[in-house]
């Protein structure tokens, strides 16, 4: 049986390099709680990104939960139906109500006009996503947030390394949360970080991720355990050395897909925004004729050992626990959700496999 190709495959650095780091942990016996690797990774990550304040986390979901607490969001939170379930779960876990509005028809990011229409006296904030790691109308969203004096949080889970208009994409919003999960372009097995813009808010976040403990005999907030451990921080430190090279290998594959798929009718490929330095985390294609052909291609690829993903199908609002909350019409979200397929992309993906994927798509679209 031939090998299975998944939508992504984690990059891991050479094991002997990591073992040297682990030996240090074994001899120091400091396993967690702001140890030396944690401190170093936090600093080097901030330098790499060109941002001031980074707080490491055990995963992005805890980061999202803490971000909402840190900014003290209340009431209704406007968000997207076209994302991973953690985006809206983090709102519900904080006892708040997600209000889902429609997205743009490009990378599937929140539409600022729809956000503005949904604002009322109960609105307590906005949680947007840089979907696929690609920014939407970030200026439009900032204007709406500022006009109504609402906190704006970005779930920037897939956006590690992305730059927009010359700066880290994590500079947008009051807080941005990135994921280092195994499926992401940069992984610490599990992990994540919040990027903030002031010493005070970083201190609040750091306290909240450590049970709200502010001194040996002082608990001053309702915190949780969101700490990244030393083994994960050490891996992160090592991974930073390889990130640029990995992004450049991803770019080659991304461009190969673009050049090969451009000549095929009835599919839409994203135009990346101007001034974007992308991380090539995903290669989504959208089948103009919708769900039937999309699913046929998905199944055929699977029969051939290519396990693509329908990011994001179903929409969050189609899951049973969210169905009762649906208020606004979501035509763009529905359309993208029913037509999208994310194709395999990772640094050492064999170009022959990419060609096979493209050929399967070409044949099925021709012979349907
Ligand atoms: C958009 C989005 N938000 C949140 C998460 C959650 O991240 P984590 O797995 O690090 O908790 C993910 C991915 O896992 C994601 O893709």
Q: Could you report the per-residue pLDDT of 52-98, keeping only the tens digit for each?
A: 999 999 999 999 999 999 999 999 999 999 999 999 999 999 999 99
Work out which ligand 1 atom sits closest to the CA atom of 183: 14
Confidence (pLDDT) at 2: 72
CB-based burial label for 361 (10 Å; 0-12, 13-18, 19+): buried
Looking at residues 168-188, what average pLDDT do you find? Answer: 98
Average pLDDT, the chain: 97
Confidence (pLDDT) at 146: 98
Report how far ligand 1's centroid is from the alpha carbon of 367 (Å). Answer: 37
Confidence (pLDDT) at 368: 72
Evaluated on CA atoms 285, 286, 289, 294, the torsion sign reads positive
In angstroms, the CA 80 to CA 126 distance is 9
In eight-state DSSP terms, residue 71 is T
Q: Count Cβ neighbours within 10 Å for each residue of 68-90 and write b for 16 or more, e otherwise.
A: bbbbebeebbbbbbbbbebbbbb
Evaluated on CA atoms 244, 262, 351, 341, the torsion sign reads positive
What is this structure's pTM?
Answer: 0.98
Q: 47 pLDDT exceeds 80?
A: yes
Looking at residues 330-341, what average pLDDT do you find? Answer: 98
Q: In this structure, are residues 197 and 53 in contact, taking their beta carbons and an 8 Å threshold?
A: yes
**Of 294, 323, 329, 327, which is closest to residue 311 (Cα–Cα)?**
294
CB-based burial label for 212 (10 Å; 0-12, 13-18, 19+): middle
Determine if residue 265 is left, alpha or beta; phi over 0 gives left, psi from -120 to 50 gives alpha, anything else beta.
beta
Report how far ligand 1's centroid is from the alpha carbon of 192 (Å). Answer: 9
Q: Which residues pair with 128 in a beta bridge?
A: 154
Confidence (pLDDT) at 367: 80
133-137, 227-231, 262-266: least confidently modelled range: 262-266
Confidence of residue 1 (pLDDT cuts 50, 70, 90): low
Share of the chain above pLDDT 90, in %: 97
**For 21-33, what is each residue's pLDDT tens digit?**
999 999 999 999 9
For ligand 1, residues with CB inside 6 Å are 59-61, 83-84, 86-87, 129, 155, 157-158, 179, 181, 192
**Of 2, 61, 87, which is closest to residue 307 (Cα–Cα)?**
2
- The 3-class secondary structure across 112-157, one letter per residue, is HHHHHHHCCCCEEEEEEECHHHCCCCHHHHHHHHHHCCCCEEEECC
Report how far ligand 1's centroid is from the alpha carbon of 216 (Å). Answer: 33
């Amino acid at each position: 049986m031939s090998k299975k190709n998944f939508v992504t495959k984690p990059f891991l650095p050479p094991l002997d390099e990591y073992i040297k780091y682990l030996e240090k942990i074994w001899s120091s016996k400091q396993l967690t709680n702001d140890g030396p690797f944690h401190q170093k990774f936090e600093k080097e990550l901030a330098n790499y990104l060109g941002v001031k304040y980074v707080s490491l986390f055990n995963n992005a979901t805890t980061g999202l939960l803490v971000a909402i607490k840190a900014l003290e969001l209340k009431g209704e939170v406007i968000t997207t139906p076209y994302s991973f379930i953690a985006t809206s779960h983090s709102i519900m876990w904080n006892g708040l109500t997600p209000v889902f509005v429609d997205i743009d028809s490009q990378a599937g990011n929140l539409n600022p006009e729809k956000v503005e229409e949904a604002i009322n006296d109960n609105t307590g904030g906005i949680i947007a996503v840089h979907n696929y790691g690609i920014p939407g109308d970030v200026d439009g969203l900032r204007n709406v947030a500022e006009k109504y004096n609402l906190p704006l949080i970005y779930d920037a889970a897939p956006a590690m390394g992305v730059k927009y208009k010359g700066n880290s994409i994590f500079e947008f919003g009051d807080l941005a949360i990135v994921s280092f999960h195994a499926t992401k372009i940069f992984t610490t097995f599990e992990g994540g970080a919040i990027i903030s813009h002031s010493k005070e808010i970083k201190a609040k976040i750091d306290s909240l991720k450590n049970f709200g403990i502010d001194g040996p005999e002082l608990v001053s907030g309702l915190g949780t355990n969101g700490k990244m451990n030393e083994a994960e921080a050490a891996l992160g430190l090592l991974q930073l050395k390889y990130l640029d090279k990995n992004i450049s290998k991803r770019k080659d594959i991304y461009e190969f897909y673009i050049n090969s798929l451009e000549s095929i009718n009835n599919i839409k490929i994203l135009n990346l925004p101007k001034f974007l330095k992308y991380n090539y985390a995903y290669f989504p294609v959208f089948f103009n004729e919708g769900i039937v052909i999309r699913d046929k291609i998905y199944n055929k690829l699977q029969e051939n050992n290519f396990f693509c993903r329908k990011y994001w199908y179903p929409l969050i609002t189609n899951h049973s626990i969210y169905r009762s909350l649906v208020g606004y019409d979501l035509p763009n979200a529905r359309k993208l959700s029913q037509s999208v397929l994310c194709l395999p992309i990772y640094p050492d993906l064999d170009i022959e496999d990419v060609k096979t994927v493209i050929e399967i798509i070409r044949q099925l679209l021709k012979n349907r």
